[in-house]
Amino acid sequence: MICNQCEQTAKGVACTVTGVCGKKPEAAQLQDLLTYAVRGLSRVAYTLGKAGIREPEVDRFAAKALFTTLTNVNFDPESLAGYIRRTAELRENLVSKWGDQAIDDEWDDPAVKFVPAGDLQGLLRQGEGVGQLGFTEEDPDIRSLKQILVYGARGIAAYVHHAAVLGQEDPEVYQFMHRALANLTNNTLNLVDWLNLVLECGAVNLRVMELLDAGNTSTFGHPEPTPVNLGHIQGKCILVSGHDLLDLKMLLEQTEGKGINIYTHGEMLPAHGYPELKKYPHLVGHYGTAWQNQKQEFSRFPGPILMTTNCLQEPRETYFESIFTTGPVAWPGVRRVENGSFQPVIDKALEMPGFSDNQEGQTILTGFARNAVLSVADKVIEAVKNGDIKHFMLVGGCDGARGSRGYYTEIVEKAPNNTVILTLGCGKYRFFDRELGDIGGIPRLLDLGQCNDAYSAIQIAVALATAFECGVNDLPLSLVLSWYEQKAVSILLTLLHLGIKNIRLGPTLPAFVSPGVLKVLVDNYGIKPISTADADLEAILKG
């Protein structure tokens, strides 16, 4: 196997024997084969799309299939084999329905004729044969750009799926997804074409984030600043992790009046700020600090755990029994919740002990999405003008296992009192419970939400730039980002598409960015790796 798509890749180069994430070679081969099969499907869908022919079922399935290839989402060979077969079937359906219109001869792609083997062993052999997309390309920079595009498209696919379940879709987004994959075998593209395609991926992701924002706010209302308790109360309980707010809403409805308390974990924390979710009195608090302590915290939680998407390590045996997954998340032996019926999770909660006592916990704040922040924009602008706020730092992105992620804790702790820290994503668990006080009533630590809420952060930056009559790059705002998996790649591409400069990125740089491509990013965007918290803070504050 060869996989290099995430931040924790072995030796900073590639996982070759087994994944640092726990992905076995079998799952890796099947994910490669699935991506190959989706490429074939996309080649056909792209051709039809150019003629104005769209098949929403194909579009949605392609996005979900790509989503399953993200880090930590699907390690289940049987599940992956099912996706592979369905992908080929959908492609064949398109070809038989639309005939000649489904195939153009602009360039060939053998994936268009891919026939899945009849059994798992056969699929594994096919997976080995196709290798990972982009690795066969000889030019290291084009290879790198192809990989960035595939990983960016995977990130887009995840956000597309989240937006689609909330009824927000745009055919143009699907068409780009198909075009991106279809072009992987187009040999007429040169380095500049590839660079443009990668930046376009960022532009399309901005549209997806906008759709997701519309889906979240129209379904759950605009987040409001909300205190969240980190303790627990006596009684039966369920822990919900991941990004899917609709799953949480359905679970809250189905547990109403059953004496079961619901706690958020990881990327679910911002759920507490949404009016249509916080109205449930049995959404009682937040438990756990994500990555570093996940194993211990999950083993100790006295109720079932619902994983609605990734951003977490695969389940370890100690708490295996109490885990349930939804959506595209599938791990071998772990039970899945299908069709929005959470009864198996509820039954498990009633069977497990629950918390035996009340524990008063610290209170933290969430819910500072664009509406909440912009409603006090006057106050913020005033504080900047009179010098009470000297600098904003967006310290956001992903969490992960690497010890050097302590940098993010340190830079937040050491930031002077006249700085405001904006955060989003699961990287906030490195500092989310720090008490940083406020500046004239404006909290110094503002939680904008999930990585899914990057649109909110962009809107806030754009509004500040408008207020100060300058560009976003001229604001007293620095971006200090942490990445882990492919959704972060798509967000980074969005920031580059917007022309955002001088981003600090860590804890390590992506293994799939070649020296040549890195040089382009450094020369044109001033992107830089994080160094030490002290040195970076000094440079940031010097401005």
- The region of 43-51, 86-94, 355-363, 479-487 touching ligand SF3 under the rule CB under 6 A is 479-487
Query: Residues 69, 71, 261, 294: which binds ligand SF4 (CB under 6 A)?
Result: 71
Residue 398 interacts with, from ligand SF4, ligand SF3, none (CB under 5-8 Å by kind) = ligand SF3
Asked if 5 touches ligand SF4 (CB under 6 A), the answer is: yes
Nearest to ligand SF4 of 159, 484 (CB atom):
484
Closest residue (Cβ) to ligand SF4?
A: 19
Q: Does 310 bind ligand SF4 (CB under 6 A)?
A: no
Measure Cα distances from 85 to 33, 90, 377, 441 in Å: 10, 9, 52, 57
**How far is the first Cα of the chain from the last one, in angstroms, to the nearest whole number?**
44
Q: At its nearest, how many Å lie between ligand SF3 and the CB of residue 238? A: 21
Q: Which stretch binds ligand SF3 (CB under 6 A): 16-24, 106-114, 161-169, 482-490?
A: 482-490
For 135, the token pair is: 């690795």
Among 21, 145, 201, 454, binds ligand SF4 (CB under 6 A): 21
Between CA 6 and CA 29 the distance in angstroms is 16
* Cα gap 489→493, rounded to integer Å: 6
* Binding residues for ligand SF3 restricted to 414-433, rule: CB under 6 A: 425-426
110, 129, 223, 536 from 117: Cα distances, Å? 15, 12, 48, 53
* Sheet strand arrangement including 391-397: 445-449, 419-424, 391-397, 477-482, 504-506, 528-529
Output 10 or 401, the one with its CB closest to ligand SF3: 401
Single out the residue of 496, 376, 485, 541 nearest to residue 67, CA to CA.
Answer: 485
284 near ligand SF4, rule: CB under 6 A = no
Question: How far, in Å, CA of 15 to CA of 5, rounded?
Answer: 9
Can you read off the two tokens belonging to residue 378?
Answer: 């006057």
Partner in contact with 308, chosen from ligand SF4, ligand SF3, none, beta carbon below 5 to 8 Å by kind? none
Decide: is 271 part of the binding site for ligand SF3 (CB under 6 A): no
Nearer to ligand SF4, 68 or 217 (CB): 68
SS3 content of the chain, % helix, strand, coil (to 5): 55, 15, 35
Q: Which does 264 bind (CB under 5 to 8 A by kind): ligand SF4, ligand SF3, none?
A: none
- Which structure tokens are listed for 323? 């885990």
Q: Closest separation between CB of residue 71 and ligand SF4, Å? A: 4
Contact between 153 and ligand SF3 per CB under 6 A: no
Should residue 20 be labelled a site residue for ligand SF4 when binding is judged by CB under 6 A?
yes
Are the C-beta atoms of residues 536 and 28 closer than 8 Å to each other?
no
Residues in the interface with ligand SF3 (CB under 6 A) total: 12
Q: Does 408 bind ligand SF3 (CB under 6 A)?
A: no
Stretch that binds ligand SF4, among 15-23, 77-85, 103-111, 347-355 (CB under 6 A): 15-23
Does 267 bind ligand SF3 (CB under 6 A)? Our answer is: yes
Q: Which one of ligand SF4, ligand SF3, none interacts with residue 9, CB within 5 to 8 A by kind?
A: ligand SF4
Is residue 150 part of the contact set for ligand SF4 (CB under 6 A)?
A: no
Give the separation between CA 452 and CA 45, rounded to whole angstroms.
Answer: 27
Site membership for ligand SF4, residue 15 (CB under 6 A): yes
Distance between CA 130 and CA 210 in Å, rounded? 35
* Smaller CB separation from ligand SF4, 1 or 395: 1
Strand partners, 226: 366
With binding defined as CB under 6 A, does residue 160 bind ligand SF4?
Answer: no
Q: Which stretch binds ligand SF3 (CB under 6 A): 44-52, 205-213, 256-264, 485-493?
A: 485-493
Quote the least distance from Cβ 51 to ligand SF3, whole Å.
35
Residue 148 or 500: the one with the smaller Cβ distance to ligand SF4 is: 148
Q: Does 487 bind ligand SF3 (CB under 6 A)?
A: yes
450 interface partner picked from ligand SF3, ligand SF4, none, CB below 5 to 8 A per type: ligand SF3
**At a CB cut-off of 8 Å and minimum separation 6, what does 350 contact?**
236, 258, 260
**Which two structure tokens, joined as six digits, stand for 283?**
């959404």
According to DSSP, residue 472 is labeled G
Contact 83, 63 (CB under 8 A): no
Q: Does residue 464 interact with ligand SF3 by CB under 6 A?
A: no
Residues 46-75 that bind ligand SF3 (CB under 6 A): none
The DSSP 8-state label assigned to residue 329 in this structure reads -
List, in sequence order, every residue forming a beta bridge with 484; answer none if it has no partner. none
Q: Residue 451: which of ligand SF3, ligand SF4, none does it interact with, CB under 5 to 8 A by kind?
A: ligand SF3
Q: Rule CB under 6 A: is residue 156 a binding residue for ligand SF3?
A: no
Q: Could you tell me how far CA 533 lies from the centroid of its own chain?
A: 25
Return the residue of 48, 311, 439, 537 that touches ligand SF3, per CB under 6 A.
Answer: 311
Is-contact 7 512, C-beta < 8 A? no
Taking CB atoms within 8 Å and a gap of at least 24, the contacts of 534-542 are 534/414, 536/411, 536/480, 536/504, 537/411, 537/414, 537/415, 540/391, 540/393, 540/478, 540/480, 541/390, 541/391, 541/416, 541/419
Which residues form the interface with ligand SF4 (CB under 6 A)?
A: 3-6, 8-9, 15, 19-21, 23, 71
Which residues form the interface with ligand SF3 (CB under 6 A)?
A: 267, 310-311, 398, 425-426, 450-451, 484-485, 487-488
